[in-house]
Amino acid sequence: MSTFKYKAFISYSHADSEWAEWLLNGLERYKVPRKLVGKKTDKGLVPAKLSPIFRDRDELPAAGKMTERLFEALAQSEFLLVICSPRSAQSKLVNKEIAEFKRLHGDDHILCMIVDGTPFSRDSSLECFPEALLHHFHTDGMKAGLSAEGLAADVRPEGDGRQMGLNKIIAGLLGVGLNDIVQRESQRRNRKLFAGGVAAAVSVAVMGALTYNAMSAQQEAERLAQIAGAKSEESQRRLEDNENLSLFVMTAVFEEVLRHGSLESVERVTRQLLQYYEDAGPDTMSEGHLFGFTAALMRLGQLYDHRGESDKAQEVFESTLLVSREFLAENPTSSKALHRLQNNLFFVGYLADRQGRLEVAEAAFRERLELVMRGQDWPRPFIKASWKLAWQEDPRDFWREKRSDAQTYLARFLVRFHGKTDEAIALAHESMVTREELLSEQEGNTEGLLSLGSSYLYLGDAYQHAGQLDKALTIFKKREDLFAGLLKEQPDNFQARRRLIGSREKIAGIMALNQDFEAAAAIFEKTSAGYRALTAKDPDSTLWLTESARSHMQLAKALEKTGDLDGARAAAETGLVKITESIRRDSTRPAHQLIKSQLELLETKLLRRTDSAQTAQSRLQALDEALSAKPEKFFTAVGAREHQADVAFEYGNLLAQQGDMEAAIQCWLGAVAAIQELPGTISPLAQRLLAQANRALAQNSQATAEAR
């Protein structure tokens, strides 16, 4: 590490002050290529920046008088930059500065920039090199002989020109070859052109997608066109350069299209962007564009996931994870790289969770939490160009939000798959408190509100799983109020609409657990209608279709308990149609298979209520056998073991009713065994099923003892 206070001291004649200012600005603006930073050279390690530079002679006393401060500045400067012209050649102060620097540091760290005159001219009025440049000096300041100076950059038009001259100075200061700087500058120019091209390409793609949509949905296309136009105007007002513009397009515009548009629009835009990146090649990517490139890939993975194409989504997320890991390895102090990897880990874990790959999911969620904890003390902000990602003023608040997000999803996982309610409640509660604090300092932040809603959801789930139903209900109602308020302000925000529906489902679920089936059914009627509206808005969304199927199933269960068998049957039939289509689109999700099996059990229960015992028995037997043959992956779906116990208990009741007590007891024992497979704290539903099975076994204690 350099021990010098200044990277360089600029020596110049007062008449050349404009050149000194130009050189200073060029050096201070220069971004040292990240691949050069830390490289070992004969000048030492390449620094991350070329600053500070000493050029504040105006603050010193009269020229020609060497002050103590000037002595100190020269002593504390690693390089001397001499602006060479006939004026500086005649300047006593410039010559004195050169002589003093040479006495202190020798000749090796002096770089010259010719701005006017002629080197080694016979005409003294044209000579540009100060005499002191041509001599060695002893430590006592006396001349020791002629000095053959090294690098001289000639910024005159007939010489190197300004840019090449500046590049020579930069190369000398860094201790690298001129070709390294010239090549990097060429790449930098290409990146600027590339950035502008990305912005243009995405804009064309957006408008192309909107034009395409106009054929089938003119109103949607017009609305999206207005959004794109507004975002374009905003970008011109707020963004400083093409790279920021392209990053802005990839975040803010994408978010608006996702919020208001169809999946087809997003896919067309994403593919256009990816094609542009592929054509340009990875060598053209700066740190910002590597961030943008991985962002586009993540969007494409989300799109596939939303459509139910899980295998494609998995491939995209896991391939991008390799890039994200390399991104952080090459940029270990980059906030962008740290954010990208933690974001990538979320999607890998989230998808693995839904696919039943639990070891992968848990590893990703835990690594993500450890990773974001690293960002807590990072001093510099994230990226100024991405307001969606960096909405906090304080960079530490950004990482506090990311920590909260990692806590909520780990809490969700711990509850669902390990029954670790205490740890989950602690994580989710801390997440909620942090997000409420952040929002108290930020008004009108949609992203922050959506995030707080996630904390409410998973804290409520943890309370519910732990049997603390009153606390769960309170949290779910807070979530309902949050999204009702947001939707009132943003009626076209379908993210908020879906979350409001989900909040009401949770409230109705608590009511059902409390045996208030009339109230639960009334809410489920509304949530089912809400999901029907969402799927009509975007029929391609497998996620919304599956949620609609689940909502109809919950409605059917509640109606069956109230005695409205016709209504229950109709809701169950609708749910089956929807979940069958979801499975056709994506058969890899255990949750899809579970909902279908739950609806089939519900239809069987309804058959029993209408005295179709024989048909019910054959269906229950088929369900029981099918569950016994299911792979272990199926039972990673939340509620799968409870469903297995429910089928076994129902089948046992039917067999007992028919007098086959031996077979009935085996079924009830199977129900108990299914619940005992659950780890940690079991849910209220599981407790209820276990109690029912044990009660049936106790009522037939003698036969049960013999069976055991």
C-beta neighbour count of 646 within 10 angstroms: 25
- Residue-level pLDDT at 180: 74
- Residue-level pLDDT at 231: 47
- CA-nearest of 377, 298, 301, 291 to 326 is 291
3-class DSSP state for residue 215? coil
Output helix, strand, coil percentages for the chain, rounded to the nearest 5. 70, 5, 25
Pairing of strands 77-84, 6-11: parallel
Helices (H), 610-699: 613-628, 640-657, 661-676, 684-699
pLDDT tens across 570-619, in order? Answer: 999 999 999 999 999 988 889 999 999 999 999 999 988 877 777 888 99
595/550 Cα distance (integer angstroms): 7
- CA-nearest of 308, 333, 359, 390 to 581 is 308
pLDDT tens across 11-65, in order? Answer: 999 999 999 999 998 898 888 877 788 888 887 888 888 889 998 665 454 444 5
CA dist 196 → 118, 189, 200 (Å): 41, 11, 6
- Residue-level pLDDT at 499: 96
- Residue-level pLDDT at 242: 44
- Residue-level pLDDT at 46: 87
- Torsion angle of alpha carbons 586, 587, 588, 591, nearest 10°? 90
Q: Please give the structure tokens belonging to residue 584.
A: 């056709």
309/301 Cα distance (integer angstroms): 9
Contact 564, 521 (CB under 8 A): yes
Helices (H), 308-378: 310-330, 335-355, 358-374
Contact 117, 84 (CB under 8 A): yes
Contact 98, 80 (CB under 8 A): yes
- Residue-level pLDDT at 667: 94
Pairing of strands 143-146, 152-154: unpaired
568/445 Cα distance (integer angstroms): 41
> DSSP state, 683?
P
Contact 182, 174 (CB under 8 A): no
- Residue-level pLDDT at 364: 95
- Residue-level pLDDT at 237: 43
540/535 Cα distance (integer angstroms): 8
131/89 Cα distance (integer angstroms): 7
Contact 459, 435 (CB under 8 A): no
3-class DSSP state for residue 350? helix
26/403 Cα distance (integer angstroms): 39
260/554 Cα distance (integer angstroms): 29
Handedness of CA 53, 59, 60, 64 (dihedral sign): positive
602/607 Cα distance (integer angstroms): 9
Going from the first residue of the chain to its last (708 residues), give the mean pLDDT of each consecutive group of 10, the final group possibly shorter: 85 93 90 81 84 71 59 91 95 92 88 91 89 72 44 84 89 84 58 44 44 42 50 44 48 54 60 59 62 79 84 89 84 82 94 88 94 70 39 68 94 91 96 92 81 96 96 98 95 92 97 96 96 90 93 97 96 97 91 96 90 83 93 90 96 92 94 93 93 90 59
Phi and psi, residue 620, nearest 5°: -65, -40
Amino acid at 628: S
Q: How buried is 413 (Cβ within 10 angstroms: 0-12 exposed, 13-18 middle, 19+ buried)?
A: buried
Amino acid at 603: E
439/446 Cα distance (integer angstroms): 10
3-class DSSP state for residue 378? coil
Q: Please give the structure tokens belonging to residue 139.
A: 């430590």
CA dist 464 → 61, 212, 433, 681 (Å): 76, 46, 19, 11
- Residue-level pLDDT at 62: 46
∠ at Cα 616 (610, 617), nearest 5°? 140
Do you find a cis peptide bond into 539, omega within 30 degrees of 0?
Answer: no
> What is 76-128 written as a DSSP string?
TEEEEEEEESHHHHT-HHHHHHHHHHHHHH-STTEEEEE-SSBTT-SSTTTB-
